[in-house]
Amino acid sequence: MPTESTFLLAGLFLLLAAAGWALGRFGEREEEDPPPPLNIDYLKGLNFLLNEQTDQALEHFLKMVRVDDKTIETHFALGSLFRRRGEIDRAIRIHQNIIARPDLASEQRDQALFSLAKDYLKAGLLDRAEKMFTRLSQGSRYQVEALENLTRIYEQEKEWEKAIEAGQQLEVLGGRSLALQIAHYYCELAEAAAVAKDYGAARQYVKQAQAGRPRTLRGALTRAHIAQETDDSKTALRLYHRIIDEHTYLIAEALPEIVAIYEREDAIDDLDKAFRKMLKKNPEMNTLVAYTAIVNDIGGIPVIDECVEKYLRNEKTLSEFIDMQSVAAGDDVAMARVRKALSNLASSTPRYQCQECGFSSQKLLWQCPSCRSWETQRPASRVQFDTVLQHSITGP
């Protein structure tokens, strides 16, 4: 089967013939000149195409149509077409061919380097891409794009120090704030330091993360984790409560931790009191508290159990499956069974969804892997029955 690139090159060869290059005509020709002989490379290239030997045909095209001021745009267009079609080796070959031209103007050299760097990036050759983008970021008209690509590479490679540096340069050159993104880079460093039990460094990174505006609550969450790990329950609780007050949706992350601390401190009564106060202030949080408790199997705390029961009785889609009215109030066994079933369903459906692109996942991801936005995921507050049903119909 001829590939797309066979057709692409065949089109170019036909264009060359139409333009007269196949006949060796490059300049103006007087009327009385005899017709020039057919270009031998053209015939060879055509022959390779007919035999579907695309790479050889491409080599002949490159040999025949040398890079000069008239043809350079064709070379660039062909290179980017190959890249878009995923034929990266061919795109690289074309861009290297442009760079090899000795008398290339510096602007065109930068364009070729930028194209080649994008080829390497798409091919997953991050080291080579990084080298070229770094060079372009130091002074070319591609500075901003090069820095944007560098931050993407550093994010992939988890080189957060370098990501911070590139991000800060980008803020200056691009004239826009990347405070939130950079704050997350510091949080990544803080979390890594906390894992290595270097709590001093971790706190320092959190401080830097919190310096920017808008602030990320991930910093407070990381700080709370550190307090918890260093047995500073008082600070941890203060931070967790502050997180919930400021960004109620983060209760999905904070609730299991809060419950663990109160249980460890043997202070469930205090937890009950604190949550009743919170729910009185924000009654709309009932659903999220209940759903988080169901998913994380948190029970035995009166205020949370009341949230869950209320939630189960009010869940409209659930009532299509179970007659909740027949589950008598105080029938703990029946309620526990419904709750368990719902917990199983919830564990097989995504819990978080990106508000920018809709990407969903089971765990909270600070950076969306699909659209690369930071802090755009929000937790679900109910089981998505349509997803469950779709899942069970189409299979895993």
Interacting residues with Zn ion (CB under 5 A): 354, 356-357, 359, 368, 370-371
Please compute, for residue 315, the number of CA atoms within 13 A of its CA located in the half-sphere on the CB side.
27
Cβ closest to Zn ion, residue 148 vs residue 263: 148
Sign of the torsion angle spanned by Cα atoms 313, 317, 320, 321: negative
Q: Considering the complex, what minimum distance in angstroms separates the CB of residue 380 from Zn ion?
A: 15
Other beta carbons less than 10 A from residue 276's beta carbon: 13
Query: How large is the greatest C-alpha to C-alpha distance in the chain, in angstroms?
Result: 106
Q: Which two tokens stand for residue 37?
A: 């002989």
Q: Considering the complex, what minimum distance in angstroms separates the CB of residue 167 from Zn ion?
A: 19
Q: Considering the complex, what minimum distance in angstroms separates the CB of residue 368 from Zn ion?
A: 3
Q: How far apart, in whole angstroms, are the C-alpha atoms of residue 100 and residue 92? A: 12
Distance of alpha carbon 139 from the chain centroid: 28
Cβ closest to Zn ion, residue 344 vs residue 355: 355
Q: How far apart, in whole angstroms, are the C-alpha atoms of residue 238 and residue 86? A: 52
Q: How far apart, in whole angstroms, are the C-alpha atoms of residue 17 and residue 11? A: 10
Other beta carbons less than 10 A from residue 325's beta carbon: 8
Cβ closest to Zn ion, residue 75 vs residue 184: 184
Q: Considering the complex, what minimum distance in angstroms separates the CB of residue 262 from Zn ion?
A: 34
Cβ closest to Zn ion, residue 198 vs residue 356: 356
Cβ closest to Zn ion, residue 71 vs residue 355: 355
Q: Considering the complex, what minimum distance in angstroms separates the CB of residue 349 from Zn ion?
A: 18
CB 145 within 8 A of CB 173: no
Cβ closest to Zn ion, residue 42 vs residue 359: 359
CB 217 within 8 A of CB 247: yes
Q: Which two tokens stand for residue 217?
A: 């609550």
Q: Considering the complex, what minimum distance in angstroms separates the CB of residue 358 from Zn ion?
A: 7
